[in-house]
Amino acid sequence: MMNEKEIEALQLELASPKKIAIIPHRNPDGDAMGSTLGLYHFLIQQNHNALVISPNEFPDFLAWLPASEKVLIYEKDAETCQKKLQEADLIFTLDFNALHRTGELMGNYLNSLDKTFVMIDHHQLPDSYAKYIYSDTSMSSTCEMIYHFIHQLNKTEFITKEVATCIYTGLVTDTGSFRFSSTTNTTHKVAASLIEKGINNAEIHNNLFDTSSYSRLQLLGKALQNMKLMPEYKTSYITLSQAELDSYNHQKGDTEGFVNYGLSIDGINFTAIFIENKEEGIIKISFRSQGDFDVNQFARNYFNGGGHINAAGGKSTISLEETVTKFIEIVKETRK
């Protein structure tokens, strides 16, 4: 929970209408968009002038979220977004804890602002840019933290169906549909409370997981064909080149969840996916593990990344082939 002094100070900040900007991390996922839009719906009910500014486009499979059409995209219209940020009395940063997670352009601009920042996040090793910090690595999702934050403000009556729908989205996506070890009895109690608010949980699941295009399923098939096993190291990995992505008409968000298939194999407790991005000149990497193997530390040590103990991301600026070779060598050295 956020400490009492900070909650009291924030209650004072929010006692009168404010201009508030709410920001997710770059390449926002279900938890990032669910938490930012959930907080947005909560704040506008109390006459705050709130808006969500995403660093870049969010995936189409999240475009059904209530008010997602109102989200401003920094990379599409930096001038308008900068004006809104300059006008803001408060800036909430959700589901990340270092400003560079918004990308180089937006991160540098946020760093230049003399504003009151509020951080709500569940990743490890937070930076110190925010005046108010609610950081808890034991939480299943930032969306669960938004629920507790609203509860601490004594404003649970403002958790409408729209707020609840957004929060439930992050709960579902960041817990792997309540499969991951970060799911606690409290997580389930929060989910039950959100269902009581009238959300259509079956429809939310359908919107998130059962609206794939045919080309996305073909791309998944290719990813599974590309999967390699290192059984003696209890490791698997998947590669997808830019050419392969292009041949299956890859759209933003299409590879979401692909990495998890590598853990579904008996005897495997560590997996990775390497996705080539020619436009950005990087290899995007996702890591997943089961048990006590810390992929956050692995990503930080070797691939300029980080995240959680069992789920993390990273990147590489060398070629896809060189990146995979490097990965194999590290696995052989560290997982004997």
pLDDT digits (tens, 9 = 90+) for 215-269: 999 999 999 999 999 999 999 999 999 999 999 999 999 999 999 999 999 999 9
How far apart, in whole angstroms, are the C-alpha atoms of residue 10 and residue 285? Answer: 37
Q: Are 213 and 311 in contact (CB under 8 A)?
A: no
pLDDT digits (tens, 9 = 90+) for 66-124: 999 999 999 999 999 999 999 999 999 999 999 999 999 999 999 999 999 999 999 98
How far apart, in whole angstroms, are the C-alpha atoms of residue 117 and residue 110? Answer: 10
pLDDT given at position 137:
93
pLDDT given at position 278:
95
Distances (CA, A) of 54 to 43, 69, 127, 319: 17, 12, 20, 29
What count of residues does the chain have? 336
- The predicted model scores a pTM of 0.91
pLDDT digits (tens, 9 = 90+) for 38-66: 999 999 999 999 999 999 999 999 999 99
Q: Are 221 and 240 in contact (CB under 8 A)?
A: no
Is the pLDDT at 336 greater than 80? The verdict is no
Q: Are 285 and 273 in contact (CB under 8 A)?
A: yes
DSSP letter (8 states) at residue 116: E
How much is the mean pLDDT over the chain?
Answer: 96
How far apart, in whole angstroms, are the C-alpha atoms of residue 20 and residue 116? Answer: 10
Under 8 Å CB-to-CB from 71, ≥6 apart: which residues? 33, 36, 37, 52, 53, 54, 58
pLDDT digits (tens, 9 = 90+) for 4-22: 999 999 999 999 999 999 9
pLDDT given at position 266:
97
Q: Where are the alpha helices (DSSP H) in the chain?
A: 4-13, 30-44, 78-87, 104-112, 142-152, 161-174, 185-196, 201-209, 214-226, 242-247, 295-302, 320-334
How far apart, in whole angstroms, are the C-alpha atoms of residue 153 and residue 207? Answer: 31
Angle between helix 142-152 and 30-44 (nearest 10): 20
pLDDT given at position 124:
87
Is the pLDDT at 290 greater than 80? The verdict is yes
pLDDT given at position 153:
96
